Each structure stands twice: as C-alpha cells, then as structure tokens.
Structure 1
Amino acid sequence: MARKHLTLLEKTEVLKKLSAGTSATFLAKKYGIARSTVSSIYKKRDNITATATQNYCGPGKRKTLRTSELPDVEKRLYKWFLEQRRKNLPVSGLILKQKAISILDKINGNRYGFVANDGWLQKFKKRYGVRYLKISGEKLSSQPELVCPFKRVLQEKIKNMDLKPDQIYNADESGLYWKLLPGKTYVSWAEKTAPGRKAEKQRITFMACTNASGRHKVKPLVIGKAKNPRPFRNVCLPVHYRHSKSAWMTGAIFKDWFHNLFVPEVQNFLKNNDLQLKALLILDNAPSHPPENQLQTSDGCITVIYMPPNVTPLIQPMDQNVIRLTKLFYRKSLLLSIIEAEKENIYEAVKEITIKDAVFNLRSAWDSLDGAVIAKCWKNIFESNEHFDEEDDIPLSVLRQQDIKKISEEVINLLNHLNEGITHTPGDIGNWNEDKVLSDIEEAENENENEEEDVQLVMERPTCSVSSKDAVILFDKIIEWAGHNNTDFSDIMVMKRLQEKAIQINLNLRKSQTKVKNYFPKM
C-alpha cells in the first residue's frame, strides 16, 4: 500500500475529531493511514494548528510543516500582501518577489545573497495559502454578491420582452495600441540598431458588439483622434469611424452610435431572420454611456439595460474573450504585415503602417471570430448558478482556453520569426494584449502627427495602377493558388465575386470606348 500524505486541512480535521472523542483506529481507517500516523499528528498538534491558522486562505492543500529559511521576511511579506488585498490592489508574482528582496534589504542588506526565484515563490504561496486570481478587467474590485440578483433581473426582462438569443446584445469598448509590439521585440531590435528609440504607441478605441447567439457581429465602431486622417482619403472603410480629442468614447458618440448605427443594423438583421423588431442591449455603467431613457427607440422595442457597478468583469460577454481574441487576431495580422514588408529593421516596417491598415486589420480580426466562440462568452451571464464563487478564475472557469491558446501560439511563431534568438511566452503575449493605458503625456509624446493630421476629404476617384483587365488575370492566378492550398470555399467565392466585378468594369469600359469612337468618321 502506497504511503499517503494528508494535507494540513485533513490533519486539522483529524485533530478536531480526536478532540471530539473519535478513536484513532476509526480515523486511521477513514483517512487510509496507519494508526501510528494518527498518533504522530496528535503529538504535533500545536505545530499543525499554528501553521494552519496563520494562513489567510486557511491550510489549503499544503502537506508539510517545513518552515522557511527566512521566516521573518516571509511574515512581513505576507502581512504586506494582506494589506494590498484589503485595498483591492492586484499583486503579481513579480511584485511579490521584488517586495521580498526589498524587505530583506531593509532587515540585513541581503547579506546571504537571497534570490527570489520562481521556486521560492511557489513555496511561499504554499506555506501561506496564497492563491492568485486571474484578473480580467477590474476583477479585484468586483462584487460577486451583485451578480445573481442582476441575473434574475435580466432573466425577468428577457421573459417580459419575449426575446430569443438573436435579440440580446452586449457592447463594450476597448483601447488598442495599433502599432505596439511586445517589449522584447523592441529591446531586441534597439540593441542591434538604435538604442533609445521609443516604441510606437498610437491608440484607437473600438467597440465590440454581438448578439448572444453569435450570429450577428455588429459592424465595429472605431474612435481616433483625427477627424479625417490622411490615410482615409478616398477609402471606403470597413468600420464606422468617429473622432474625439482623446480617442475615447464620449456620451455624444455613443448616443449617435446607438440610434444611427446600432438600431438600423439590428433591425435589418431581425428582418432578414424573420424575427420581431425588438432587442435588448446590455451595457456596463461606463461614464460615457448615456442614461437608459436616452437609449431606446421611439416605440421602446429596442432598449438597454445596465449592469450594476463592479460586476462587469465577471459576467459581461465582451469581456469574457471576445475582445481578447479580436486583439490577438489583429496582432497576428500586424505581424504578418511587418514580415511581408521585408524592411531592414522592424521599426521601419512599423513606421509605414497607417491607421487605414489598422482598421482594415481590425475588421479582418473581427470577421475571424467564430460564432460558436462568441456564444460561449455569454455563458457566464446566462447561467443560473446561485452559488457564485468569488474566488473562481474568471473568465477561465467559463471559457475554452484552446481558443486563446491556438491563436497565441501562431502569434508566438510569428514573433520568433521576426526575432530569432528571442523566446516569447504566452505570458508575454498576454501582457502585450492587455493594452495598458498610458498617461495623456506618454500618449502625446508617442503620437505621430503626420499620421493623424486632418485633411479635407476630396471625393475624387483615386488613380489605380492596376487595370481591370490585369485584375481579371491576377484573380485567375489567386483562385488557382487558393484551390491548391486548402483555402476555404467561402474565401474563394469572395475572390470570384471580385473577379466578376473586374470583368464587368472592363466590359463597361469597352462599351464606353466604343461609343466615343462612333463620334469620329472612319478614315
């Protein structure tokens, strides 16, 4: 029989039952251990009780009573950790390691050369029962106790309106530094070419909005700083574009989006799917979102409902993977553009990327989202589980991480292609994808004035170096290539339609030229 090791929690249970009069023989049989082990646990009862009760999260799964080589340092670190938790401040592993060294320096100047490595960190977490939350949005400042009451209100609203998943929507905004590459990439390049050059950090805001079935992805809204960015000249954009001084959402922009963009598009989707013209939009309580009474159609059939403060990261569908995946797909396109440019260094390739490239790549990323993946992101807001665990790793308890893992691996491979010798990890990709907001001063320092300069749009037809006749021939080659490279049939049909458009334009051009010739007599 293999030797069994009890956790501290199990050992404390044994001690409680011994104190209550339960026999050692019965406990040995129940826990699958020798009777001598029960006696040993009883002899060490003071040490076990002291160790188990000192932890913030209780004894947990810890099994040994082994103490730290630096107990004073760890006690101070643990006390500091609890203070940060009480303030709802996030604490990462790196922060804990740096704080440990700082405490040791203050105590004895780190005479023993202590290194706060990952191995020490894991042991510290086990010794003190420290458990990290997967932070999504503002997880640490969330209030899980408000989730279930809101779910009941939402379900009642859906029932009263008699809505199907196709008629329930959620929208959320996110910042995107559309030229920014991971820190390792820039450091690697800078060390070889021009140390001290700053990374590109221009930002746009985009609105992600889908329905609960995942069948309707609303056309993205993008907000930039410039009213008419130069690269948009004579371009039919694949997104809705608005501008604000800070490139953030404003109440006026949101109200305009709801009434003039969202409502017509939703009504069109409902008509095409033989659904009643009514819908509900679920929103968070961001300051830029107008009051409910300003966000409804005149007949009240399309309206909004606001989530309570501090539950958004826990249940808002767009926060559960939709935005994260969209950004990953975007960054994959960004890296492919840089690789395709074949410039001498990364900086030159990034410099040539325009905001027009950004919105086209963003739309491509949005179109890459699978409806089934989107539908999974709604599970958290619809599930009726009344026992909501605030310590759950949200959204990891709901999402299939292979969705993130697959695209992350593709992004890592592209980064490794750009920077041979530099290893990128999923953690690096996650940090890159967070788009941590810079201060206004930092953004101003990194703003490319030439890129964002306003121009008066002149609606003249731009000259094209590729004729319609040449386009027809090129599409023939592209379609042939696609057929031999496992390209999805729907993508090939898109190219076929474009080829047909080029053929039609070429025919119209021929007719026009024939009519002009009729004005001249034959010689």
Structure 2
Amino acid sequence: MRIPKRNYTIATKLKVLALLETSTDQQVSDMLSIPRRTIRTWVNQKRDILAYNGNKKRMKVDPGGRPEEFPDPEGLVDYINQMRAQERALTTSHIINWIKRHQAAWLRSYIARKKPGYQGLLRLLQRFCHRHGFTRQRPGKQKHKQSVLIEVRDDFAAEFHRQYHGFGPDCVYNVDETGFYYDMPPKYIWSARGGDAKISTGEKHSMRMTAVLTVRSNGDKLPILFIIRGTPGGRIETSELPTYPSGHFYAVQGKAWMDNTVWKSYLRDLLHRSLVEPSVILLDNFESHVSDASYRIVEEELGSFLCAIPPNATSICQPLDVGVMAPFKRYLRDEWLTEEMIDGEDGDDFDTPTAAEKRKAMVKRAIAAWDRVTATEIRNSFVKALPSIEE
C-alpha cells in the first residue's frame, strides 16, 4: 500500500532551516520525523523560503492556480498604487485606460476572443485587483416588488391599447433621457486592502452629458438630442457645437439636465420634424415632460397626444427602459473600450484630455452606440412594455 504524501507548511520549512543552523540534517530529521530527502530539497530552496512574506500556513512558496493572463501585472499594480498615493479616485475605467495606453495589442486580442468583451475584461480586472490586495465598495439599491410592477404594467397596457388602438406602429413614440460619463461613473474605487479611500479634490466626478433618445414602436430611431453642461449662449454653444457631427441635435444647459427650456426645444425642433401624422408620445412623469406647456405644445402645435407612464413604473412600462437602454449602455462601454486614447498635454498615465476633447469624444461614442441599437431590439421593447390583451 502506497504511503500518502505528507505536506508541510511554510512555517515548518522555516523552522527546519533555523534548526539546521545548529544541527545536522539527520538530527533534524530524527527530531521532527521529516525525511532527510525532503529537508535537503528545502535547503536547495532556502533563498525562496526565507524571502517568502505571505501566509505561513501555505504549503507552497509559489502560488498555484492559473498563470497570470495580464501581460504586465507589476506595471499595473505599480500604477494602481501610485494613483492611490495621489488620492485619485481609482475606478476600473482608469485601469482600462492604462491598459489601452500600454497594452493596446493585448486588449484588442482579448476583446476579439471574449464575448462579451467588456464583461469578460471587467471580471478579469476584478479578479486581478482582489488577487493583488485591492478591494472595492459600491452602494446597494432597493427595488419594488416585481408582482406589483407587473400588475401596474398590465393595467396600463390594457388602458393604452384601449385608448390608442387606432394608432399604427409608426405613430407611437417613446422618449427618455439618460446620463452618461466620459469615464465609468466612480461609484466605487480600487484601494489597497486596509487602506483609506480618500481622494483629492476634483477626483469625485467624471464629465457627464445627457442623451435624449427617441424610438418608434415600428423600430425606427430618431436623432439624439445631446444636453451638454455649460452656459447657454456661451463659448461651448458658439464655438464647439458647430464642430460636432451633423444629423443630431445639441443643447447647452447649466447642469447638463433636461429642463423646461430644453424640453420645449426638443418638441419643436426635433420631434416635430419627425411627425408625419397625429401620434402618441409615451414618456415618464418627469416635471418638464408633463407640464401644462408640454401638453399644450404636443396637442396644439404637434397635433398629437401625450401619454404619461404611471409613477415609479418606468422600469417595466417604458419601452426604452425595458429593452433599449441596457444594450445602448453596453454599446457605449464597448465603444469606449475600442476608441483611441486621447492624451492630455503631458501625455503621461496621470494626465487627462481637455474638457472640449472629452465632450466631442462622448458625442461620437454615443452616436456610434446608438447606431448599433437594432430595430428588433426596439420593437421587442414595445412588446414587453405594452403587451396587448390578445397576447
């Protein structure tokens, strides 16, 4: 019968090496009941064993498991530590930007063989950070009961089909806004395990922009209205907007949010041009959307009908939220991964592009992502959000 192989901890190996300073290997073998052959092997590994500074309960000096997939782990760990030493808000997007700059060929190869590329890369980096002693935190969210939302959706869908049954798929619109960032929003940052999470001033927010998306239930997409943070009538509006891609619409607002002024402009300048006959405009209960002025413009100037979605039910009743926003955001991330790096003035790892360069890159990224949203995705979103009685 074969004798089972014995395993020894690093602590035991260190003890043996210490005893060998004053005893022979045979004496140590007799004292601890460890074969002389094993002790001689440890003597040959003495330098590595003495240099080990990890958990002494481990059996091996070299960790097992998969080999490191990322080509430059030391460089990335050094970058992460330097960022945190400067109290910078280190998000996964910063790590990806570092990879795009220093390991672009590896990144392209990784994305090409992984589907979906972004999610695979995200998981790889999360494992990498945990493996090298970094942790992350993120807030939790509370949700409504799904059974209640389904009941609200079914009641709303039945009333919608009853009231607007005469409108064809090319006459039912859904519009909604979504914010997006130049980098991933820093809801959590990477930091050394046990260290603090302080960040320096100016590192709390990535540049934000709002995209107003509009779809028809037949699968058509309307141009995007971009709401950009700035002073109306200021330099951005007069100098930058004319350089942005044509075919879409742009507005400047103090906080890059939708307000009454921007909403009126959207109705009159963008939506009105797309209406060929009386239509139904489906939207949420945002204040600007359901104001008296909004109803008046839609009914009197556009000759159409405004239909508000029940409060707190957009996640299940609004087509854009049900089946379009998720792929759009996914395509945004994919475009961000593959776009060329924009270097700042210094061109180093800790430098950032100018605000004007960021704004233009965000616009181009969103347009490319919007182009990837398919008519099938849009039609399916209307079917899910507004199921008919017959179905």
TM-score, normalization: structure 1?
A: 0.40
- Whether contact under 8 Å (1:295, 1:303) holds in the other structure is no
Q: Is the 8 A contact 1:186 1:199 kept in 2?
A: no
> Identical aligned pairs, as a percentage?
21
Partner of 2:255: 246
**Contact between 2:317 and 2:385, CA under 8 Å: does it hold in 1?**
yes
Tell me what 2:296 maps to: 294
1:156 is aligned to 2:162: yes
Amino acid at match of 1:281: I
- Find the partner of 1:258 among 264, 267, 270: 267
User: For 1:367, which of 367, 371, 377 is the aligned residue?
Assistant: 371
Contact 1:282/1:304, CA 8 A, preserved across alignment: yes
What CA distance in whole angstroms lies between the structure 2 residues aligned with 1:156 and 1:293?
Answer: 21
Whole-angstrom distance in 2 between the partners of 1:313 and 1:369: 19
Q: Tell me: CA distance 1:157–1:299, structure 2 relative to 1, closer, same or farther (3 Å).
A: farther
- Cα deviation for residue 319 of structure 1 reads 0.5
Displacement of 1:145 after TM fit? Answer: 3.3
Whole-Å separation in 1 of the counterparts to 2:269 and 2:187 = 40
Change (3 A) 1:349 1:199: farther
Q: Which position in structure 2 is the counterpart of 1:209? A: 214
How far off its partner does 1:171 sit? 0.5
* Correspondence for 1:170 among 171, 174, 180: 174
8 A Cα contact 1:295 1:304, kept in partner: no
| TM-fit CA distance, 1:260 | 2.2
1:271-310 Cα deviation digits (max 9, x unpaired)? xxxxxx1211101111121236324253764221111212
Distance change (3 Å), C-alpha of 1:142 and 1:359: farther
Q: C-alpha distance in 2, partners of 1:321/1:382? A: 12
Residue deviations 1:84-124, cap 9 Å, x none? xxxxxxxxxxxxxxxxxxxxxxxxxxxxxxxxxxxxxxxxx
1:199: how far off? 5.6
Q: Report the CA distance shift for 1:316/1:142 in structure 2 as closer, same or farther (over 3 A).
A: farther
Kindly tell me: are residues 229 and 202 of structure 1, through their superposed partners in 2, closer, same or farther at Cα, counting changes over 3 Å?
farther
User: What is the rounded CA distance, in whole Å, between the counterparts of 1:153 and 1:372 in structure 2?
Assistant: 25
One-letter amino acid matched to 1:170: N
| SS of equivalent to 1:179 | coil
Q: Do 2:299 and 2:306's aligned partners in 1 also have CA atoms closer than 8 Å?
A: no
Counterpart in 2 of 1:285?
Answer: 285
Shift in Å, 1:175: 1.4
Q: Displacement, 1:254?
A: 1.1
Code of the aligned partner of 2:362: A
For the 8 Å contact 2:161–2:388, the answer to whether it is kept is no
Distance 1:334 1:371, change over 3 A: same
3-state SS in 2 of match to 1:163: coil
Is 2:239 aligned against 1:235? Answer: no
1:311–1:325 distance in 2 versus 1, CA, 3 Å? same
1:382 and 1:171 mapped to 2: Cα distance? 15
Offset of residue 187 of structure 1 = 5.6
Structure 1 residues 206 and 373 mapped into 2: Cα distance closer, same or farther (>3 Å)?
same
SS of the counterpart of 1:305? strand
Pairs within 5 Å for 1:18-57: none
CA shift digits 1:33-65 (9 cap, x unpaired):
xxxxxxxxxxxxxxxxxxxxxxxxxxxxxxxxx
* 1:333 is the counterpart of 2:338: no
Distance 1:163 1:221 in 2: 25
Shift of 1:184: 7.8
Per the normalisation by structure 2, the TM-score is 0.52
One-letter code aligned to 2:164: I
Q: Does the Cα contact within 8 Å between 1:322 and 1:377 map onto a contact in 2? A: yes
What is residue 152 of structure 2 aligned with on the other side?
A: 146
Q: d(CA) in 2 for partners of 1:323 and 1:314?
A: 12
Cα distance in 2 between the residues matched to 1:293 and 1:349: 42
Mapping of residues 124-523 of structure 1, within 5 Å = 143-159=149-165, 162-180=166-184, 198=203, 200-214=205-219, 216-226=220-230, 227=232, 228=234, 230=236, 232=240, 234-238=242-246, 239-267=248-276, 277-289=277-289, 290-291=291-292, 293-298=295-300, 301-339=303-341, 344-345=348-349, 347-348=351-352, 353-384=357-388
Q: C-alpha separation between the residues in 2 aligned to 1:356 and 1:141?
A: 43
Distance 1:334 1:372, change over 3 A: same
State the alpha-carbon separation in 2 of the partners of residues 309 and 298 from structure 1.
25
346 and 331 in structure 1: CA distance in 2 versus 1, 3 angstrom threshold: farther
User: Once the two structures are superposed, what CA deviation does each residue of 1:464-500 show, in whole Å capped at 9, x if it has no partner?
Assistant: xxxxxxxxxxxxxxxxxxxxxxxxxxxxxxxxxxxxx
Per-residue deviation, 1:347: 4.6
Provide Cα deviations, 1:380-430, integer angstroms capped at 9, x if missing partner. Answer: 22213699xxxxxxxxxxxxxxxxxxxxxxxxxxxxxxxxxxxxxxxxxxx
AA in 1 matched with 2:156: F
Gap regions ≥5 residues in structure 2: 1-139
* Aligned-pair CA distance for 1:317: 0.6
Q: Distance in 2 between matches of 1:241 and 1:204?
A: 11
Letter in 2 for 1:244: Q
Q: If each structure's helix is expressed as a fraction of its own residues, which one has the higher value? A: 1
Opposite residue 333 of structure 1, the aligned amino acid is E
Structure 2 Cα separation of the partners of residues 255 and 369 of structure 1: 26
> How big is each residue's C-alpha offset from its partner over 1:124-153, in whole Å with a ceiling of 9 and x where there is no partner?
xxxxxxxxx9978x7789744332222122
Cα deviations across residues 181-201 of structure 1 (Å, max 9, x unaligned)? 66788769xx9xxx8582651
The answer to whether the Cα contact below 8 Å between 2:244 and 2:360 also exists between their aligned partners in 1 is no
SS at match of 2:255: coil
User: How large is the Cα RMSD of the aligned pairs?
Assistant: 3.7
In structure 2, the CA distance between the partners of 1:196 and 1:338, relative to structure 1 (3 Å rule), is farther
Q: 1:142 touches 1:311 (CA, 8 Å); kept in 2?
A: no
| Stretches of structure 1 lacking an aligned partner (at least 5 in a row) | 1-132, 268-276, 388-523
- C-alpha separation in 2, matches of 1:205 and 1:311: 21
Equivalent residues of 1:171, 1:318 under 8 A apart: yes
